[in-house]
Structure 1
């Protein structure tokens, strides 16, 4: 650094895990506890889930930047929201202050942080702190491994059309369907058509006190919450859904 040059802050994308505050990594805990500024996604009018996870570790007086996102069916949030958030965060970074961005799950697995990273990495130092993903948490809740040896595990977004879903499912030894929500009836019908309904496990709100763990065939509701997942194993191991988990 040259004489007179101002050192800029570091942007941290910190994975929080699926919801249980005890599943934070030691590094995530340290960064949150020492943060002077945190930022986090928050749906308009709804408390931020990311902040709720980290709440036990946020010190009084910490500056907060909520990134409010409208909940819409189409792709969201709008480009302008990330542009504005990146600009607000960049002011802190330019002043030499680190900013910790709280990320549900893992920052780079369907995480909103990747859009801030895309906008800011060219101008500021960035560090990614991985988090426990909901995929791992749901497998643990079901008591069944995800995959073994050379088996192919596929992560599939539930909003895909049936034809795409079926193609991904038939090509994989094991698969996870995320973002189930309102797509539950048709996903369930497709798995029944493919003869896989009996092998499907269902988890919603993994690691939280209100977690639901069920065989998909036994799940009675017509819709699922956003934080829900279906896991199916088709490989060669004789793994079944662990009865004590259900």
Structure 2
């Protein structure tokens, strides 16, 4: 019997991978990773140069990413079928081999592996290796602590309605907005509504060679990639 090992790869810089995850990746005979069709995939880029010769790769290509609204029945049905299919395939493969599934950041923090995990639990042995989250890498890149003292930190998905984003931004000492990308105009409007636009920063491709940091107020929508996080630091009431 084999098992499925999900390796959290951290925020992007291979040097920020844990020793445990690096050992799993380097010793893997079989790996699987998510990617958009026609792209190498962020997880695969992180492990470039670390894989053993002859390692067999399974690219799990999303059937849809931004082509349909994320809340549409078509999008939900396509992703459901995709996860069902790959869970079944990995279950069969893991009967006689170990498979390392690559996951950016931490697998249990907005990671796609969660959709496989819930389908595979109780069917195969699963090991999950935690990783440094993308948001942690991004706020460290800004050179400023994200929270101070009794600050409350809120994590927000950028897919929320503008009014809900603005409400929670206004209530929080510090916050992180995930899933930015095409949601940037809505996020910027919510920041302005909450009175937090001037202090908000955007970190794209945090910790990687392509890292960029800019004030959200100055960021153009077309310059905002998928791997981008909006931050507002706490500490407004610190001593």
TM-score normalized by the length of structure 2:
0.90
Superposed, which structure 2 residues align to 1:179-218 within 5 Å? 179-218=179-218
* Cα shift readout 1:100-152 (whole Å, capped 9, x = no counterpart): 10001110111011111111121222111111111111101111111133321
Give the structure 1 partner of residue 93 of structure 2: 92
Give the structure 1 partner of residue 134 of structure 2: 134
Q: How many residues align?
A: 230
Q: Secondary structure at the match of 1:47?
A: coil
Q: Secondary structure at the match of 1:127?
A: strand
Distance 2:179 2:81 in 1: 24
**Cα offset, 1:38, TM superposition:** 0.7
Tell me if 1:22 matches 2:15.
Answer: yes
Give the structure 2 partner of residue 62 of structure 1: 55
Give the structure 2 partner of residue 222 of structure 1: 221
Tell me if 1:13 matches 2:42.
Answer: no
Q: Secondary structure at the match of 1:144?
A: coil
TM-score normalized by the length of structure 1:
0.87
Distance 2:229 2:104 in 1: 15
* Cα shift readout 1:212-232 (whole Å, capped 9, x = no counterpart): 11222333x124111111111
Distance 2:80 2:176 in 1: 28
**Cα offset, 1:85, TM superposition:** 1.1
> Radius of gyration: which is bigger?
1
* Cα shift readout 1:49-79 (whole Å, capped 9, x = no counterpart): 1111112211111111111102233256611
Give the structure 1 partner of residue 80 of structure 2: 79
Q: Secondary structure at the match of 2:35?
A: strand
Distance 2:194 2:93 in 1: 52
Residues 147 and 234 in structure 2, CA contact (< 8 A), matched pair in contact too: no
RMSD, aligned CA: 1.8
Distance 1:187 1:145 in 2: 22
Distance 1:46 1:156 in 2: 27
Give the structure 2 partner of residue 243 of structure 1: none
Q: Secondary structure at the match of 1:45?
A: coil
**Cα offset, 1:92, TM superposition:** 2.1
Residues 180 and 226 in structure 2, CA contact (< 8 A), matched pair in contact too: yes
Distance 2:151 2:172 in 1: 8
**Cα offset, 1:16, TM superposition:** 0.7
Give the structure 2 partner of residue 36 of structure 1: 29
Distance 1:49 1:222 in 2: 21
